[in-house]
A and B are shown apart, each in its own frame.
Chain A
Amino acid sequence: MIENVLLAWVIGAVFISSVSIMLIGLYEKHDENIPQNIYTILGLGGPFISLLFSVILINSFLDTGVKLDYQVFMWLDIEGFVIPASLILDSLSAAMLSFVSFVGFIIHIYAHAYMKDDPSYARFFSWFNLFMASMFLLILADNPFMLFIGWEGVGLCSYLLISFYFENEDNVQAGNKAFILNRIGDFGFISGLALLFVYIGDSGLNFSSLEANIHLIPHATLNLIAILLFIGAMGKSAQIPLYIWLPDAMAGPTPVSALIHAATMVTAGVYMVARFHFLYSITEEIGLFIAYIGAFSALLAALIALRQDDIKKILAYSTMSQLGYMFMAVGLGAYSYGIFHVFTHAFFKALLFMGAGAIILALHHEQDIKKMGALRSKMPFVFVMMLLATLAISGIPPFSGFFSKDAILNHLFASGHYLIFAMALFTAGLTSYYMFRLLLLVFISPAHKEHHLIKESTLIKLTLFVLSIGVVFTGLLNIPAFFGGNEDYSLWLNLPDIRYHISHSNELILLGSNILVALFGIGLAFSHYKSSSKDPSFGYLEIIIKNKFYIDELAHTLIVRPLKALSLFISDTLDEKIIDSFIHKVSSSYQRLSYYSDYVQNGNVRYYALYMSVGIVSIFMYLFIGGY
Chain B
Amino acid sequence: MIDVGHFFILAVLLFSIGMVGVISRRNIFVMYMSIELMLNAVNLVLVALSHHHEDLNGQVMAIMIIAIAAAEASIFLALFVMLFKNARSLDANFFELLKQEKHND
Contact = CB atoms under 8 A, between A and B. Distances in A.
Interface in A583-628: 591, 595, 598, 601-606, 609-610, 613
Nearest to B25: A606
Nearest to B96: A603
A595 B102 CA distance: 8
B86 interface: no
B97 interface: yes
Which secondary structure characterizes the binding site on chain A? helix
B73 to A, nearest CB: 18
B1 interface: no
A604 B92 contact: yes
Contacts of A591: 105
A598 B100 contact: yes
Nearest to B105: A591
Given A601-B98, A613-B23, A606 B105 contact: no
B105 A604 contact: no
A605 B99 contact: no
Contacts of B92: 604-606
B39 to A, nearest CB: 16
A613 B19 contact: yes
Nearest to B22: A609
Contacts of A605: 92, 95, 98
Given A591-B105, A595-B105, A603 B22 contact: no
Nearest to B26: A606
Given A591-B105, A595-B105, A598-B102, A603 B23 contact: no
Contacts of A598: 100, 102
A601 B103 CA distance: 13
A602 B22 CA distance: 17
Nearest to A598: B100
B98 A603 contact: yes
A609 B23 contact: yes
Q: How large is the interface on A (under 10, 10 to 19, 20 to 34, 35 or more residues)?
A: 10 to 19
Given A591-B105, A595-B105, A603 B19 contact: no
B74 interface: no
A606 B100 contact: no
Contacts of A609: 22-23
Interface centre among A601, A605, A613, by most B CB within 10 Å? Answer: A605
Interface residues of B, number: 16
A557 B72 CA distance: 90
Contacts of A601: 98-100
Given A591-B105, A595-B105, A598-B100, A604 B93 contact: yes
Nearest to A612: B23
A602 B98 CA distance: 7
Contacts of B102: 595, 598
Nearest to A617: B19
Nearest to A605: B92
A414 to B, nearest CB: 84
A604 B22 CA distance: 12
A602 B96 contact: yes
A299 to B, nearest CB: 69
Contacts of A606: 22-23, 26, 31, 92-93
A333 B103 CA distance: 81
A601 B101 CA distance: 9
A618 to B, nearest CB: 14
Interface string B65-105: 00000000000000000000000000011011111101101
Given A591-B105, A598-B102, A613-B19, A603 B26 contact: no
Interface in B10-25: 19, 22-23
A205 to B, nearest CB: 60
Contact of A603 (B31, B95, B103, B105): B95
Contacts of B98: 601, 603, 605
Interface in A528-580: none
Nearest to A607: B23
Contacts of B105: 591, 595
A601 B96 CA distance: 10
A586 to B, nearest CB: 15
Given A591-B105, A609-B22, A613-B19, A604 B96 contact: yes
A595 B105 CA distance: 9
Nearest to B97: A603
Nearest to A610: B23
Contacts of A602: 96, 99-100
Contacts of B96: 602-604
Interface in A298-324: none
Nearest to A614: B23
Contacts of B93: 604, 606
A603 to B, nearest CB: 3
A467 B105 CA distance: 76
Contacts of B22: 606, 609
B30 to A, nearest CB: 11
Nearest to A599: B100
Contacts of A603: 95-100
Q: In this complex, which of B23, B93, B99 has the most chain A Cβ atoms within 10 angstroms of its Cβ? A: B23
Interface of A: 591, 595, 598, 601-606, 609-610, 613
18 contacts: A591-B105, A595-B103, A598-B102, A601-B98, A601-B99, A601-B100, A602-B96, A602-B100, A603-B95, A603-B99, A604-B92, A604-B93, A604-B95, A604-B96, A605-B95, A606-B26, A610-B23, A613-B19
Nearest 4 CB-CB pairings of A with B: A603-B99, A603-B96, A603-B98, A601-B100
Given A603-B95, A603-B96, 6 more contacts: A603-B98, A603-B99, A603-B100, A604-B95, A605-B98, A613-B19
